[in-house]
Amino acid sequence: MVLADTLVVLAANVLAMLVPAVAVSVGPRRFLGALRDSRRRFVAVAPYLLPLAVVLAARRLALSIGPEISWYLEWNVTGFIYGLEGTAVVRLQELASPLLTDYFVFVYLYGYVFLLVFPIVAYFALDDTDRLAELLVAFVLNYGIGLVCYVLFVAYGPRNVIPEVVDSLLYTTQPTSQHLTGEVNRNTNVFPSLHASLSATVALFAWRTRSEYVEWLLLAVPLAVSVAVATMYLGIHWVTDVAGGLVLAGGSYWLAIRVVDRYGCWESMPAFFSRLSARS
């Protein structure tokens, strides 16, 4: 019940950003044109959609059996990270004000989802499907490598380790959001920050597509920076997690471009797929 309400609010907020952003940046005409050509575009990126589906399914799996494996291995890096940076994130919270907190909560919950969804729509609208393919590959790499880290390492965030100096601002200001975050992650999974890595990945792609979507670059970069800062400001991630996320983003971006450059997109469904669909 609470979860459903939270999801509706999430969808409403993200749509409220997405619709105007698409209208302004992509434009209705280009968007509708892309829809009419959607079959070709789906076929083109089909080889990259499958791995994404696999990784997202693995994400569900990693949530249920992942903790078992993590605790079996018991590679608990929390103490190491704490030893490395101590109470560095406290500095950020010293700047806290109600307005700033509202902003970062909004960015963390809704801005982030918008940041991930918009480029999918925008790159889908480009005639050249390579950008969309690259983005999908980069998402797969981020998620895939991030999940492996989550399963391998046990790492708790600042709010769980230094609670007397870091407030768990997200959950004190938006208590019910925990029903949602509890669905998508566990509190032992903070290294690396996927919020930071996926946002940075999107920002890197915004730079790559600056000639097509210059307004997007102007929006994506500050938003991505905000998301990364928000994760620390809200007491969820360590500086180390965000740094790890940025490295992951850079690596995924670089590799995604190489992969699509090497393997390209499909021009049509391979013959055996067509035969399969014809038979059914």
Partner 1 sequence: MTSNSLSRRAFLASAVSASVAGCNGIQYRDRYKPGERVSLTVSAPPADDDEAATTIARTLTDRLSSLGVDAVFEPKGRSQLYLDALINHDFDVFVGRYPNLTHPDALYPLLHSSFAPEPGWQNPFGVTSVAIDDSLEALRESADSTAALREFLDVYVERVPFSVVTAPDFLTVRREALSVPDGATTERPLDVLAQLASSSLDRPFRAGIFSVEITENRNPVAGEFRWNDQLLGLVYDSLARPSRTGAGFIPWAAREWYFEDGDLVVELRPGQTFHDDSQLTAQDVAFTLRFLSDTSLGAASSPVPATRFRGHTTLVSGAEATDERTVRFEVADHVDPVNAERVLTIPILPEAEWADRTELVEERVTKALVWENRQPVGSGPLAFEEATPEESVQFRPYERHFLGKTSDDRLTEYAPALDTDGVVARYAPSGEDALVALGDGRLDTSLHLFPLQAVGGVEGANDVVSASSPSDELCIVGYNFRRAPLSDFRFRQVLARLHDREHTAASVFDGFARATDLPMVEDWHEVDWSSEFTVGSFPGSDGELDVSTVRDRFEEAGYTYDDDGNLFR
Q: Interface with partner 1 by CB under 8 A: which residues?
A: 1-2, 67, 71, 76, 78-80, 82-83, 154, 156, 159-164, 168, 171-172, 175-176, 178-179, 182, 187-188
What type of residue sits at position 229? Answer: V
CA dist 265 and 253 (Å) reads 17
Burial of 57 (0-12, 13-18, 19+ CB in 10 A): exposed
Nearer to partner 1, 188 or 197 (CB): 188
CA dist 89 and 160 (Å) reads 13
| 125 phi/psi in degrees, rounded to 5 | -80, -10
DSSP 52-94: HHHHHHHHHHHHHTHHHHHHHHTEE-HHHHHHHHTTHHHHHHT
How far apart are CB 75 and partner 1 at their closest, in Å? Answer: 10
CA dist 28 and 26 (Å) reads 7
The CA-based angle 37-38-41, given to 5 degrees, is 95
CB neighbour list of residue 61: distance below 8 Å, 6 or more residues apart? none
How far apart are CB 140 and partner 1 at their closest, in Å? Answer: 29
HEC string of 163-204 equals: CCCCCCHHHHHCCCHHHHHHHHCCCCECCCCHHHHHHHHHHH
CB 235 within 8 A of CB 168: yes
Q: Compute CA distances 192 → 121, 136, 140, 149, 240, whole Å.
A: 26, 19, 15, 7, 8
Q: Is 189 helix (H, G, I), strand (E, B) or coil?
A: strand
